[in-house]
Amino acid sequence: MGRHLTLAVFFCLFRTRSSSHVVVYWTLNHGQRYGNVSKEIQVEDFEECYLKCFRDELSRLCHAFNFRGRDGSCHLIYDRSNLIPSEGYATLAQCEFVYPECKLSQMGKEYVGSLNVTDSGKPCLRWDSPRLATTYDSNPSDGFVDAMFYDEHVLNQDLSLHENFCRNPTFKDRPWCFVDDGTIHSEYCQVPLCDDMGKLECKLTQKGGEYVGVKNRSISRFPCLPWLESTHFLKDRIYNDRRPPFPDLLSDTHNYCRNPNAKPGGPWCYIQDSGESGIEWEYCDVPFCALEYPNIACDSRNQCESEKDDVLSLYPECRKTEMGKEYKGIKNRTETGKKCLPWGIPVIKKALENILLSHISAEDRFKEKFRVLDNMDSWTNEEANYCRNPGFRKRPWCFISDDLKWEYCHIPFCPNRKEPVNCKLTFHGMEYAGKTNMTRDGKKCQPWLSQTPNKHSMIFSLSYFPDDGMDSRHNYCRNPDIDGNGPWCYTEEDIGRQYCDIPFCWEMYQRSAVKGMH
């Protein structure tokens, strides 16, 4: 907030009659208004004054307005540094615009907020609407590239992720969307510029296609090469004439970490000759903005810094994370009481293939498909008809009919959900989502997104990881390929997988019970 907004006495949510966008306002103390009037206009009512401010050509600056009802006088305020007597005006000021509900550039290709109406108040169509599948490129001025598939234009190459929100998947002047008012066409949206134009050095989504920060070294600290450098951009079909997937404009020197082809691990870059490693690209150290890993570490003997005996009180019949990918309970009915179908039914297994591959881009799917699906039979046989979350839906779910209808299941959160359950329920421990990051020999695990010293492609098995997401900090023992020896990791010292000492949960229950007897 600006320093004068400390004078606010209450706030209200103001929803316009033509928009579903909610804006927070603060009203000043009675008897005061802003004195530095930038524009004075006549309006019919309070809402029109608001709209004039919100849709002003300098909307980033118009964060406040004075309105006087008796004569329809409306003042647009760009400078909130001067307060004077009100003279009958009511004064409201918008809260600061904070990313992602604002744009960091005029073009706003990085915008991933939730505005879903156009300048004229029309509701946006969903980007994955069947009506757009064959008509999206009917107007050349919308800027879609003929050599690219429709979904390759949007950030993270996932149309459903963007729902019906305003976006800029091409190179139009600012965010826009498709509308249908008898004919399908595009219209611009009024997305304000952020008050703080600083680039976030973190990602909001798993793939991080929206990242526009300035990191230009890989996770192993190799310098990034410019995207348009001729020695490597021709190796990939996406970086010369196929620039829409980038969240910003490319230049000859642009060497910042980006994810233009929706790699599952997040932003990455081509790297300079790394010597004996033989790798040409690597993920970058771009953490999540909101997904926090507890500041907890567990040693090779599985002793955690903040372990509490009551962490296991209800697990596994509860979930520890939002998505509940680690859930291994036996609930097999949905929120509406419908019985779950077995995951191993042929028609469901076929649908499950697409779910397990959904995070992999089209260019990688063909070569990685069979390796990723190699473990599917083992998974479906073990999970029976229990609620689970294969893929990346919001929480555990299951199929309820042969025509592939599905519903969510009601799986409650565990008490002390932020505390890790540092044990496994099964022999292979695929569900293990604890914080042990050292092997049995006491060696530190290599981050899963790193390619040194171990070059690997386990990130393509992200569907099998029990985590809500993965970023550059994730170096915990896991078992995404259902290795019979249990959770493992690559280490920073050795080549090849090394196993971790993860106890069974019943052993920890027993230990807790023994403690309670003393």
pLDDT tens digits, 405-429: 999 999 999 887 777 788 999 999 9
In this prediction, residue 116 carries a pLDDT of 93
Q: What gap in Å lies between CA 170 and CA 177, rounded to an integer?
A: 11
pLDDT tens by residue, 302-340: 444 433 333 344 678 899 889 999 999 999 999 999 999
293-312+417-518 fold = Plasminogen Kringle 4 (2.40.20)
Amino acid 290: pLDDT: 67
What is the CATH topology of the domain spanning 332-408?
A: Plasminogen Kringle 4 (2.40.20)
Per-residue pLDDT at 32 exceeds 70: yes
- Rounded Cα gap, residues 230 and 74, in angstroms: 55
Confidence of residue 3 (pLDDT cuts 50, 70, 90): very low
Average pLDDT (424-446) is: 94
Helix (H, G, I), strand (E, B) or coil at 420: coil
pLDDT for residue 17 is more than 80: no
Per-position b or e across 225-252, b if 16+ CB within 10 A of its CB: bbbbeeebbeeeebbeebbbbbbbebee
- The H or E element spanning position 14 is strand 10-15
| Residues whose CB is less than 8 angstroms from the CB of residue 230 and which lie 6 or more positions away in sequence, other chains included | none
Give the SS3 label for residue 446. Answer: coil
Amino acid at the residue 190 = Q
Token pair, residue 457, equals: 């492609």
User: At 16, which amino acid appears?
Assistant: T
Over residues 80-131, the pLDDT tens digits come to 778 899 899 988 876 666 788 889 999 999 999 999 999 998 999 999 999 9
Which whole number is the average pLDDT over 361-376? Answer: 84
Burial letters 394-406, b for 16+ CB under 10 A, else e: ebbbbbbeeeeeb
18-32, 55-69, 280-294, 355-369: the lowest-pLDDT one:
18-32
| pLDDT surpassing 90 at residue 193 | no
Interatomic CA distance for residues 371 and 352, integer angstroms: 15
Report the alpha-carbon distance of residue 129 to residue 239 in Å, rounded.
27
Cβ–Cβ under 8 Å, residues 89 and 72: no
CATH architecture group of domain 203-290: Beta Barrel (2.40)
Please give the structure tokens belonging to residue 311. 């962490």
* pLDDT level of residue 512 (50, 70, 90 thresholds): low
Contact 185, 139 (CB under 8 A): yes
Q: Tell me the CATH number for domain 3-94.
A: 3.50.4.10
Written as one string, the DSSP assignment of 201-217 is SSBSSSS-TT------B
Q: What average pLDDT does the segment 365-380 reach?
A: 87
Q: Judging by beta carbons within 10 Å of its beta carbon (0-12, 13-18, 19+), is residue 517 exposed, middle or buried?
A: exposed
Confidence check: pLDDT of 12 > 60: no
Question: Are residues 436 and 502 in contact, defined by beta-carbon separation less than 8 angstroms?
Answer: yes
Distance between CA atoms of 256 and 227, rounded to whole angstroms? Answer: 8
The C-alpha atoms of residue 126 and residue 184 are separated, in whole angstroms, by 12
Helices (H) and strands (E) in the chain, counts: 5, 16
At 511, is the pLDDT very low, low, confident or very high (cuts 50, 70, 90)? low
pLDDT of the residue at 8: 34
Q: How many residues are given for the chain?
A: 518
Average pLDDT of the chain is 83
Question: What's the confidence (pLDDT) of residue 105?
Answer: 93
Q: What are phi and psi of 442, to 5 degrees?
A: 80, 20
- The residue extents of the domains of the chain are 3-94, 102-198, 203-290, 293-312+417-518, 332-408
Domain 102-198, CATH homologous superfamily name and number: Plasminogen Kringle 4 (2.40.20.10)
| Model confidence band, residue 371 (pLDDT cutoffs 50, 70, 90) | confident
Nearest to 14 by CA among 80, 91, 69, 94: 94
Name which of 430, 212, 421, 226 is nearest 319 in CA terms.
421
Taking residues 135-147, report their average pLDDT.
Answer: 91
Q: What is the largest CA-CA distance in the chain?
A: 80
pLDDT confidence bin for 19, thresholds 50/70/90: very low
H-type alpha helices, 357-443: 362-373, 376-383
- pLDDT at residue 470 tops 90: yes
Cβ atoms within 10 Å of 417's Cβ, excluding its own? 16
Choice among 124-128, 148-152, 306-310, 356-360 with the minimum mean pLDDT? 306-310
**CB 460: neighbour CB atoms within 10 A?**
22
pLDDT tens across 478-509, in order? 999 999 999 999 998 878 999 999 999 876 65
Q: Tell me whether the CATH fold assigned to 293-312+417-518 matches the one assigned to 332-408.
A: yes
- Element housing 407 (H / E): strand 406-408
What percent of the chain clears pLDDT 90, i.e. is strictly above it? 54
The larger pLDDT score, comparing residue 449 to residue 2, is at 449
Q: Give the CA angle between residues 260, 266, 267 to the nearest 5°.
A: 55
pLDDT of residue 94: 67
How far apart, in whole angstroms, are the C-alpha atoms of residue 134 and residue 154? Answer: 16
Q: Which amino acid is at 19?
A: S
Higher pLDDT, 52 or 411: 411
